[in-house]
Amino acid sequence: MLTLRRFDEAGRRAYFDEVRPRIVVLRVHTAGANIVWGVPLWAAEEVAAFLLGAAALLKAGLPLAPRAWRRRLCTGVTVAGRELRFGSEEPSASAAASLLEVCRTIDSLAGGSLRDLLRLPSGEPYVRVRTGDTHVEIAAY
């Protein structure tokens, strides 16, 4: 949706914040080395949005899968002595309700529900770790 803005300082700042390419920067400072690495924010957002969208579609479509597939997908995986289950082996809803849920999920994803997934104010770190003389920071600028 196109919205008009005032051409005052706040309006210009908001406009440039939206159109400016954002970079995720990894900084590692130690006593012996300074490492700085950057990647466009959209690349990290696309990967995260794809993985979260695929997980949402799998969850919504699992009741529609054949029984053998559900049994295979819902078999518990043991991690650190605990069994993790990905869903129920038995379908929990009717096929029509499951199909409607898949359509709602696709509509939500197509509508941009995962847009700006990693958006923080410029310079605000996602991760900041300080230990002794080592400093690690991941932030978007």
Domain ranges of the chain: 22-140
**pLDDT over 90 at 29, yes or no:** yes
pLDDT at 87: 57
**pLDDT over 80 at 113, yes or no:** yes
| Beta carbons of 46 and 22 less than 8 angstroms apart | no
Q: Containing H/E element for 136?
A: strand 134-140
Classify strands 23-29 and 125-131 as parallel, antiparallel or unpaired.
unpaired
CA distance 127 to 109: 27
Which DSSP symbol is given to 35? E
pLDDT digits over 43-88, tens only?
888 888 888 888 888 888 888 888 777 777 666 667 777 766 655 5
pLDDT at 33: 93
Range with the poorest average pLDDT among 21-25, 102-106, 118-122: 118-122
By CB neighbour count within 10 A (0-12 exposed, 13-18 middle, 19+ buried), where does 62 fall? Answer: buried
Helix/strand number for the chain, H first, E second: 4, 6
